[in-house]
Structure 1
Amino acid sequence: MIASDMSSTLAPTAAAVPLQLGGLLSEPLGQALAVIVAIAVVVLVGRIALKIAWRLVTIAAVVVGALLLLSFFGISVL
């Protein structure tokens, strides 16, 4: 019974948090924080994408290099 009372009192509070914090974005420092957080998200996603891209480029370079070496020895793979 106590848990249901607790959840019923926390639900309106959790829903009101975005409304209470909405005024922070109207101030210049709040807007600067929002921009910095957005840039951080872009950088984080970019780092992950570049990590995958470097692996793909490295694999492609090794495969093409191996095919080039085989072609030097007269072995035609393609």
Structure 2
Amino acid sequence: MTPGLVSAVPALPLQLGGLLGQPLGQALAVVVAIAVVILVGRIALKIAWRLVTIAAVVIGALLVFSFFGINVL
């Protein structure tokens, strides 16, 4: 980044203050915040589904082994 751009970044919220002061600006901020929450939630759920699937497969395998008299635990 250029030095002028670095010094302008902290002033960005002040420049957008008038934009977010209007009802449409506030609606845009809410929609963007909801989009961020949904994106983070999708990533978390993707990981959670993988963990649940792995746990179900492992527990199912242990159950099948126990039917044949093999105690793993």
Calculate the TM-score normalised by the size of structure 2.
0.86
Shift of 1:11: 5.4
Q: 1:66 maps to what in 2? A: 61
Q: 1:54 maps to what in 2? A: 49
- Cα-Cα RMSD: 1.9
Q: 1:31 maps to what in 2? A: 26
- Structure richer in helix, relative to its length: 1
**1:45-67 per-position Cα deviation (integer Å, ceiling 9, x unaligned):** 00000000000000000000000
The amino acid that maps onto 1:39 is I
| Percent of matched pairs sharing the same residue | 77
Count how many residue pairs are aligned between Structure 1 and Structure 2: 71
- What residue ranges of structure 1 are gaps of 5+ in the alignment? 1-5
The amino acid that maps onto 2:67 is F
SS in 1 for 2:70: coil
- Structure number with greater Rg is 1
- What residue ranges of structure 2 are gaps of 5+ in the alignment? none
The amino acid that maps onto 2:11 is A
